[in-house]
Amino acid sequence: MAKASTAEFGVDAALDAAIAAAAGHVRGARHVVALTGAGLSVESGIPPFRGPGGLWTRYGEPPMDGYQRFLRDPRAAWQERLHPKAAWARALREALAAAKPNAGHLALAELERLGCCAALITQNVDDLHRQAGSRNLLEIHGNHRLLRCVECTARFAPEQIAVDPDDLPPRCPRCDGIVKDDTVHFGEPIPPDVLRRCYEEVGRADCMLVVGTSATVYPAAEFPLEMVRRGGCLIEINPDDTELTPAASLSLRGPGGDILERLLQHAVQAPEGSTR
Ligand code: OAD
C-alpha cells in the first residue's frame, strides 16, 4: 500500500480536526437535527439524482407533474409502478432492492442512541435509515416500501393492501380513498403530518448535520437556512460545495459514510457539553 505523502497527511489532519470540532458541536448542542439526501446512500450503491452518475444526469428529469398524472390516471400509474418502463425507474428499483445501510446510516442511528441526534429528516425514500435503526425519522419524501392513501394519508405496509393487477388502483381499507405509493411524486404536496413534524424539529434545532444533499429541493433545502438565521450551527458533510456551503459553520469534505463514522468516534470520546 502506498504511504500518504506529508501533504496528504496534512489535508487529512486538517479534516480530522474539523471532524473533531463538529463532534464537539454535536455533543454540546441542545437539539441536533440531521438532514440527509441521496449522497448518503451513494456508498450503499444507490445513484444520486444530480451530478456525476446522477439519475437525472443520465436519463433526464422525469415530467414535473407526476402527481397530477397519477390523479388523472391512477390505473396507468400503478401499471408503471408494477412494471416500470422508464429507464431511470428501472435503475432505481434495482439499486433499491440491493442496497444495505452503510457506515453513515449506522453512525446516525448510533448518534441518536447516544442522545446526540434528536431527529433525522431524510429526503431519501430508500428505507436505509429505518434498517440502520434510526427511530425519530421523518421521511419527508416518503418511503418506497410503503403505500399511502391520498385521502386520509394512512400508511400501509405492502402486505396490508391487496394489489389486484386487474382492479387498479387499490383502495384504502379505512376510507376507500385511492392508494398510491408513499414516495412523494413531482408536483405532490409533502404529506402534512410529516411536514408539521419537520417544522417542529427544525424550530427546536440549534445544530444541524446536513449530509449528502445538493439542497436544491424545497422545503427541505430551507430547513438549515432557517436554523442558521436563528444562530444555529450548520455542519455540512459533502464531497462538493452546495448552495448551503456559504452558510455552514463547518464544511466536512468527503463521503458521508467515512466522515460520519469518524464524527461518531470523536463524539464518543468527547466530554459531554465540550463546546459549551
Ligand atoms: P442530489 O442528487 O440532488 O444531490 C446529492 C448530493 O450528494 C450532491 O451534493 C453530491 O455532491 C453529494 N454526494 C455525492 N456522493 C456523496 C457521498 N458519497 N457522500 C455524501 N455526499 C455525496 O440529491 P438530493 O439533494 O437528495 O426528490 O435530492 C433532493 C431530491 O431531489 C430527492 O429527494 C428527489 C429529487 O428530485 C423526490 O424524489 C421528491
DSSP-assigned letter for residue 171 = B
**Rounded to whole angstroms, how far apart are CA atoms 108 and 227?**
20
Q: Take atom 8 of ligand 1 and give the residue whose Cα is closest.
A: 214
Q: Which atom of ligand 1 is nearest to the CA of 214?
A: 9
Q: Considering 141, 144, 185, 266, which one is annotated as catalytic?
A: 141
Task: Identify the CA nearest to 252 among candidates 237, 265, 274, 270.
Answer: 237
| Averaged confidence pLDDT in the chain | 94
How close is the Cα of 171 to the center of ligand 1, in Å?
Answer: 33
Q: Which atom of ligand 1 is nearest to the CA of 186?
A: 39
- pLDDT grade, residue 5 (50/70/90)? very low
Instruction: Return the best residue to mutate from 59, 214, 218 for the ligand 1 pocket (most ligand atoms within 8 A of CB).
Output: 214
Closest CA to 99 of 110, 91, 107: 91
The burial of 262, by beta-carbon neighbours within 10 Å (0-12 exposed, 13-18 middle, 19 or more buried), is given as buried
Strand order across the beta sheet in which 179-181 lies: 155-156, 147-149, 179-181
**pTM score, whole prediction:** 0.95
Name the band, by pLDDT with cuts 50, 70 and 90, for residue 273. Answer: low
**Pocket-forming residues, ligand 1, beta carbon under 6 Å:** 37-40, 42-43, 48-51, 54, 123, 141, 184, 212-214, 216-217, 238-240, 242, 255-256
Distance CA(234)–CA(249), nearest Å, equals 5
Which residue lies with its CA nearest to atom 14 of ligand 1? 39
Radius of gyration over every alpha carbon of the chain, rounded to an integer in angstroms: 20
Q: 234 - beta bridge partners?
A: 208
Atom index in ligand 1 nearest the CA of residue 142 equals 39
On the question of pLDDT at 7 being above 50, the answer is: yes
CATH for the stretch 28-54+101-145+190-269: 3.40.50.1220
Please write the tens of the pLDDT for every residue from 98-154: 999 999 999 999 999 999 999 999 999 999 999 999 999 999 999 999 999 999 999
Question: Please, which pLDDT band fits residue 8 given cuts at 50, 70 and 90?
Answer: low
In this structure, the residue with its CA closest to atom 35 of ligand 1 is 49
Note if 185 is an active site residue: no
User: Which of 217, 218, 244, 262 best tests ligand 1's pocket when mutated (most atoms within 8 Å of CB)?
Assistant: 217
Q: How far apart are CA 223 and CA 233, in angstroms?
A: 12
Give the whole-number percent of the chain exceeding pLDDT 90: 91
pLDDT band at 1 (very low <50, low <70, confident <90, very high): very low
Reply yes or no: is the peptide bond before residue 219 cis, omega within 30 of 0: yes
